[in-house]
Structure 1
């Protein structure tokens, strides 16, 4: 498993990271997947305080506590659970971030978080307060670096211009190429992309056609367009999942692919696809088959 430097930081992450949201809620079952990831040299693990009301962080913390020095641990903040335990509200205040980080540290059983990410963001946020919160946590040694998980161009642009963020997590895949419009902005600010949704809800796997037949539309793709595109991608000389993974990895701004797995079998399929070479010609054909859409909302 190759590694990449994350933005302007001194942190390196494995090209595949484990997205922990999909982990089983049973500790023993989750341990098997995380151990399998470690055995296959995956060093980046991504969770959030929101996932399963904090229980996901506990599971990840229990599974990785004996490997802490060998891994990069990331979590997120900003979504505050309601007192009733049902639903949540957006709270990017310094008071909440400062409180939430200690709760995450406790659940993760660690003294520091490698990458702390704002889990969303709006133009109504006091971005200076958010950045001050993150910088203060860095000075205290509670986090090493910070970033933001957002698909809103206005929010991303403002955050990058004012902060020392090292990562942006965005949904990005062959079927959702909207982030490509902003890659020059990421390069300019020396920030890495953490790609989620790289397999487009399984549409870019061997099960893609079955899923497409059950999907009315996907983003700007109608059902007919989706089926046609997947047929063309599957007709290439390389497995569709390998093409999907390497298409994202070929981008200079990409740091890691955040891949979810609810079983070791699923994770193995992704690792095997990752290890399959894909020619530049195939990647070029894949880009010609798919759309290069842009975000229509939250424009600068």
Structure 2
């Protein structure tokens, strides 16, 4: 076995140690979770059998925070997660989201967060998941038509009733977080955070830490960009939404961004790491209250991602990783204009 320049300790075997658990608001979850969206749609062909194996392997590795939503696959993803954890429910921290109104094949037509809908959405998710409670129930986007106080109050009632253990907000602005938290404590904020999406660092992270709210970064690998494996949109299948829904992957923007991926690959290689591992390790080093949820459909990639939890990097190494992908020089917005209009900023 060799010594790793990034850790100064003996390299871990291919099957890494279990991901350590840590507090997640009122919950306990592994320091790294698993985003399950791609197991049902948006990222090309799906294989439910492989997805089930991946989820069960995640539990074996201590990757216990399983993130889904009622609209992923129009409910099929929640059903998949529910089947995968059957018989192992006590090992899983199930996180699901609600609020997006999605009657057809697009990404949605609006947001509902009124009290009646909160209760209705919870019952529907419990039924699809086949469980008697949800660990973390998150509002996918803030509703412009419903005061967040009404939503938070309804979610607090679900906590009191034992139907959910805690609730979260997603892509919420600091002022909105404070308003919701004043009504009923927010357990977690789910938002995009990675080397190439760092807006949250300006104010939101500080507010979450002041209030004791965990941060759950989605797309921590930049939807695959930070792994260094993406060179062209031609790599994506016709059903992959990176071909049409994400400006950063448009040909001109991707060409402008690729040097960053190349530089990250070089920096990671000097540390004896793959670029994706370096990107995840950097995010884990942002604090013990940070729980990234990289998505994958593959048990092999799951294990690769989970191993990043165990890496120990020096401040200088972290600075080198961050400098490889200067967020203020990334070309293209992280969402298209329609999706950006739903962000609470």
Confirm or deny a common fold (TM above 0.5): yes
The CA deviation at 1:144 is 0.7
Matches within 5 A, 1:28-39: 28-39=49-60
Tell me the number of residue pairs that the alignment of Structure 1 and Structure 2 aligns: 295
The CA deviation at 1:271 is 2.5
TM superposition score normalised by structure 2: 0.76
Secondary structure of 1:255's partner? coil
- Residue from 241, 248, 263 that aligns with 2:298: 263
Aligned to 1:197: 219
For residues 266-300 of structure 1, the C-alpha deviation after alignment (integer angstroms, 9 at most, x for no partner) is 21332344444433321112223433559999787
- The CA distance in 1 between the partners of 2:191 and 2:100, in whole Å, is 17
When you count strand as a share of all residues, which structure comes out higher? 1
The CA deviation at 1:263 is 1.8
- Segments of 5+ residues of structure 1 without an aligned counterpart are none
Aligned to 1:76: 97
For residues 228-267 of structure 1, the C-alpha deviation after alignment (integer angstroms, 9 at most, x for no partner) is 3223222212322122111111122643110111222321
For residues 69-117 of structure 1, the C-alpha deviation after alignment (integer angstroms, 9 at most, x for no partner) is 12111111112343x7875432111111111111111111111001110
Moved more, 290-299 or 253-262: 290-299
Matches within 5 A, 1:108-257: 108-150=129-171, 152-153=173-174, 155-181=176-202, 182-208=204-230, 210-211=231-232, 218=248, 222-223=253-254, 225-236=256-267, 237-238=270-271, 239=273, 240-252=275-287, 254-257=289-292
User: Are the structure 2 counterparts of residues 176 and 12 from structure 1 closer, same or farther at C-alpha, using a change threshold of 3 Å?
Assistant: same
- Segments of 5+ residues of structure 2 without an aligned counterpart are 1-18, 41-45, 236-242, 334-339
Moved more, 84-93 or 159-168: 84-93
Question: Does the alignment pair 1:3 with 2:33?
Answer: no
Secondary structure of 2:292's partner? strand
- The CA distance in 1 between the partners of 2:133 and 2:229, in whole Å, is 39
For residues 182-216 of structure 1, the C-alpha deviation after alignment (integer angstroms, 9 at most, x for no partner) is 211111111110011110021111414x2599899
- The CA distance in 1 between the partners of 2:297 and 2:166, in whole Å, is 28
Secondary structure of 2:55's partner? helix
Question: Cα RMSD over matched residues?
Answer: 3.0
- The CA distance in 2 between the partners of 1:58 and 1:152, in whole Å, is 31
Aligned to 1:19: 35
TM superposition score normalised by structure 1: 0.87
- The CA distance in 1 between the partners of 2:217 and 2:119, in whole Å, is 27
Q: Is the 8 A contact 1:243 1:278 kept in 2?
A: no
- The CA distance in 2 between the partners of 1:127 and 1:260, in whole Å, is 29
- The CA distance in 2 between the partners of 1:253 and 1:222, in whole Å, is 33
